[in-house]
Amino acid sequence: MTSFEEPAITRQGVDEAILSCEGLTKAFGGVNAVNGATFDVPRGKITALIGPNGAGKTTVVNILSGAMKSDSGSMRLGSTDITNWERYKIARLGLMRTFQLSRELSGLTVLENLLAAPKVQAGESLFNIFFRPRLLKREERQNIERATEILRTYGLYDLRDNRARELSGGQKKLLEISRGVMASPSLFLLDEPMAGVNPALIERIGGYILDMKAQGVTVLMIEHNLNIVEKICDNVIVLAEGRTLATGRLSDLRNNPEVVQAYLGEVINAGTGH
């Protein structure tokens, strides 16, 4: 665990973007789920992706991670154009994601869920299995050590030999996040990591996300709870009807009438009209 740091103030336009996408669109039948989303994710920061239900947030994450192909638009990860890349290749560049409804590898144990995560393993090659057993043993030992450490941090250590399907909802959320961490991402996309979990766990997950940042991981998280966004996110991207409505710090966005109407206004019904 690293030491405490105040979230740095975002200097818009100065930060280097780890991810930038431009004009992403995706239609399902007649529904334009994503309709020209354009934004940058600054490196080393925690960025929130907010917007009303159905705004297209999950679809954006699906596109960025390669799970879906966009109809048009482009995206770059670091200096690499990853538009239309296959999802596993994007993952190998260091982009990990979680799913809105947690998806565990149900028949594998908790520990195996983490052991499966490192992107490329020598032990996944038939040649190595039969001709380089020592290399395999060493790699596996290192992975087990690291996985054990992560499981301890996430409070899942005692469940390590349980099949993942036996876990509770909250534990599955933790498992999914820790599995992503095990893969050493440079950019981690979290789709509502705190949805449906109890307040104590929300706090813990918030802490883990800040820890990731301290360790140099860039985080883009979809989150509805603006309290949390306020506390841990450096930067906010507002999505509405598949379009980027605004980006910036939450405190600034609260004064943006368009944002208030599209999203915040959903709750307080305070809009200024177009």
Partner 1 sequence: MSAFWYYVFTLVFFLFDYFILAMGLNIQYGETGILNFAYIAFVALGAYVTGAVSMPNSVGTGQQYIFGWGIPFPFNLIMGGVAAMVLAFVVALITLRRLRTDYLAMVLISLSLVFYDIVNNYVRLFNGADGLYNVPEPMSGVFHLTLNAFVPFFALVTGAVALILWGVMSRITRSPLGRTFRAIRDDPDVAAALGKGVFRYQLTSMLIGSFYAGVGGGLLIQFGGSFNPTAWLPGETFVVFAVIIVGGVGNNVGLLMGALLVETLLIHLPAFLPNIPGHPGLIEYIDTMVVGVVLMLMLWFRPQGVVPERLRRFPQPAGELANRDGHSVAPPEQSHYVAAITTDDSEPKDAQ
Ligand X SMILES: Nc1ncnc2c1ncn2[C@@H]1O[C@H](COP(=O)(O)OP(=O)(O)O)[C@@H](O)[C@H]1O
Neighbours of 249 (CB within 10 A): 15
List 31, 129, 135, 270, residue binding ligand X (CB under 6 A): 31
Number of residues this chain uses to bind ligand X (CB under 6 A)? 11
List 56, 73, 118, 180, residue binding ligand X (CB under 6 A): 56
Query: Does residue 107 touch partner 1 according to CB under 8 A?
Result: yes
List 32, 38, 148, 186, residue binding partner 1 (CB under 8 A): 148
Query: Does residue 121 touch partner 1 according to CB under 8 A?
Result: yes
Number of residues this chain uses to bind partner 1 (CB under 8 A)? 78
Residue 140 main-chain phi, psi, to 5 deg: -65, -40
- Least spacing, CB of residue 171 vs ligand X, in Å: 23
List 25, 35, 58, 143, residue binding Mg ion (CB under 5 A): 58
The span of 21-29, 56-64, 147-155, 196-204 binding Mg ion (CB under 5 A) equals 56-64
Q: What is the token pair recorded at 38?
A: 């354009």
Query: Does residue 34 touch partner 1 according to CB under 8 A?
Result: no
In which order are the strands placed within the sheet that holds 187-191? 95-97, 187-191, 218-222, 46-50, 235-240, 243-248
Which of helix, strand or coil describes residue 117?
coil
Q: Of 243, 238, 244, 241, whose CA–CA distance to 264 is shortest?
A: 238
Q: Of 26, 45, 73, whose CA–CA distance to 247 is shortest?
A: 45
CA distance 82 to 17: 14
List 17, 27, 183, 246, residue binding partner 1 (CB under 8 A): 183
Q: How many residues are listed for the chain in this entry? A: 274
Question: CA–CA distance from 239 to each of 2, 38, 236, 243, 262 (Å)?
Answer: 32, 10, 10, 5, 9
CA distance 147 to 214: 19
Query: Does residue 51 touch ligand X according to CB under 6 A?
Result: yes
List 71, 101, 132, 208, residue binding partner 1 (CB under 8 A): 208
Q: Of 217, 233, 206, 9, whose CA–CA distance to 94 is shortest?
A: 217
Query: Does residue 135 touch ligand X according to CB under 6 A?
Result: no
Cβ nearer to Mg ion, comparing 62 with 218: 62
Query: Does residue 81 touch partner 1 according to CB under 8 A?
Result: no
Cβ nearer to ligand X, comparing 35 with 113: 35
List 18, 33, 226, 237, residue binding ligand X (CB under 6 A): 33
Contact residues for Mg ion, defined by CB under 5 A: 58, 100
